[in-house]
Structure 1
Amino acid sequence: MTTMPLRNTATLAWRTLVQIKHNPFELIDFSVQPIMFLLLFTYVFGGAMAGSPAEYLTFALPGIIVQNLIFATMNTGIGLNTDISKGVFDRLRSLPISRFAPLAGRISADVIKQAWAIALLLGLGMVLGFRIETGPVAVLAAFGLLLVFAMSLSWLSVLVAMLASAPEKVQIFGFVVFFPITMASGAFVDPSTMPGWLEAFAEINPTTVLTDAVRGLLSGGPVAGPAIWSLVWAAGFLVVFAPLSVRAFRRRV
């Protein structure tokens, strides 16, 4: 009996992943968009920010990975809201499956997509000149930290999906909330160059601490502090938004 929810979750996660075969456009947000951001930030801002695209890439690639990860979590909410709007959840509810497997399945599938996007950005970054200064263990730790953070933040996306009336509203919420959070951070510039009040916000911004942790794991530098704070933020997102999402899910379906 205890394995039934896990099997249900795995089945529904596979359902989401298999859809890519029939609709490759589902990978646009995890493939084309990351590549676009990487190329634009490197070659448009690189010379002005660091003197050369190569120098800026070394600093900015971890931030680009984190920014893309944060925005991509909204795809979980958009997908769930779309399924609800199309009546998919009504059909699933009539089946003998775990009640919350659709939520866990969607999150699990999107975390796998996130892993693909991280690997894509890191691989392309290395082609463009980024060099990993640490070892395989540190790289795997960076992947793990990013995916844990993505999984936790996805619960905010789930909550928005349960409250929003249409997928477009989930997307709008993501842009309005995540755009200032990712830009007002240390992902793309040193926070010390910002006005004092904005620097104070950027220093505690989850985007900044996660970027610093990934930067340390890939290029060397402080890791323990930023990684711990990243996990604290992730735990906070999970503790706050997971119960609220489950409650909203019960009311919605």
Structure 2
Amino acid sequence: MTTQATRPQDAPALDASVIAALGAGERPAPANAVRSSLTFGWRALLKIKHVPEQLFDVTMFPILFTLMFTYVFGGAIAGSTQDYLQYALPGILTQTVVFITMYTGLTINTDIEKGVFDRFRSLPVWRASLLVGALLGDTLRYCLASIMVLTVGVLIGYRAPGGVSGVLLAVLLLLVFCFSLSWLWLIVGLKARTPNAVMGVSMMVLFPLTFISSVFAPPETMPSWLQKFVDINPVTLLCEAARGLMDGTPDGGDITIVLVLSAVVTAVFAPIALRLYNRKS
């Protein structure tokens, strides 16, 4: 049996056929950190396009919360729905956006469960771009939820004494805080075994933080022992800072505390989330 060696003169013809099959264009430059993060952020938006039911939490929930708390509890708490709306809308805005942050961890956990996570990790891009892109996509969801709450509030009679600038600054402050808080839910999403577990842990943390706060009622109406928790609750600090901006009476101390707290939360939880992401198998 005779084995015929490949002749060197056959190599150029072989290379030409491979180039013709693959295309003669230049290889595109590798995506940098910004481009890859924006690409994954765009992916989050495309998921909403193909599964529009994902927008239910940022459209219907804000409407239901605003109408329900205004017309069911407003008269009992403030004497009239209109007076309560002026107090509660900044709180409802805060509660709605903070609640939506849990979906960051839910999304990453779903990707892990479906096997998409491993495919993305094998791509030659900045390793953290998947997480940063997910946060960028969720930031747009926070903006949409804020628009829904404010639109419904204006339609039923809310008027912000702080004007448009106060409302925009309040929403911006909410986005900064919620972006930092989303790193915590990324950790939960990377550690939990199932999306249901992510949802359970998130609800267990967010329910007491949002409802035992100044979101729906002034702390002065609560028992003294409960006021101590309410006063140091991060959601209370965020709510009071947003309420001050929207009411035209911004409190520099509350705003500074929220910004510092956001920076600390990001500095603590972002490295942990990135480490878990890189070590995830």
**CA shift at 1:154, angstroms?**
0.2
**CA shift at 1:151, angstroms?**
0.3
Q: Is the 8 A contact 2:127 2:278 kept in 1?
A: no
The residue number in structure 2 matching 1:12 is: 40
Which residue of 135, 146, 150 corresponds with 2:174? 146
The residue number in structure 2 matching 1:185 is: 213
In the comparison of the two structures, how many residue pairs are matched?
253
Can you list the C-alpha shifts for 1:166-200, whole angstroms capped at 9, x where unaligned? 11111001111110111111111111111212101
The residue number in structure 1 matching 2:88 is: 60
Amino acid at match of 1:54: Q
The residue number in structure 2 matching 1:70 is: 98
- In 2, Cα distance between equivalents of 1:68 and 1:2: 39
- In 2, Cα distance between equivalents of 1:3 and 1:226: 40
- In 2, Cα distance between equivalents of 1:133 and 1:157: 34
The residue number in structure 1 matching 2:137 is: 109
**CA shift at 1:71, angstroms?**
1.1
Residues 92-241 of structure 1 mapped to structure 2, 5 A cutoff? 92-241=120-269
SS in 2 for 1:129: coil
- In 2, Cα distance between equivalents of 1:100 and 1:3: 13
Amino acid at match of 1:60: A
Amino acid at match of 1:250: N
Amino acid at match of 2:232: I
Q: Is the 8 A contact 1:20 1:26 kept in 2?
A: yes
- In 1, Cα distance between equivalents of 2:246 and 2:50: 35
Aligned CA-pair RMSD: 1.5
**CA shift at 1:3, angstroms?**
7.1
| Structure 1 gap ranges (5+) | none
Q: Is the 8 A contact 2:166 2:248 kept in 1?
A: no
Can you list the C-alpha shifts for 1:48-76, whole angstroms capped at 9, x where unaligned? 01111111111011111111111100000
Q: Is the 8 A contact 2:30 2:125 kept in 1?
A: no
Q: Is the 8 A contact 1:8 1:97 kept in 2?
A: yes
Q: Is the 8 A contact 2:109 2:189 kept in 1?
A: yes
Q: Is the 8 A contact 1:131 1:219 kept in 2?
A: no
**CA shift at 1:135, angstroms?**
3.0
Residues 1:28 and 2:64 aligned together? no
Larger radius of gyration, structure 1 or 2?
2
What TM-score, normalized to structure 2?
Answer: 0.87
What TM-score, normalized to structure 1?
Answer: 0.96
Q: Which shows bigger deviation, 133-142 or 76-85?
A: 133-142
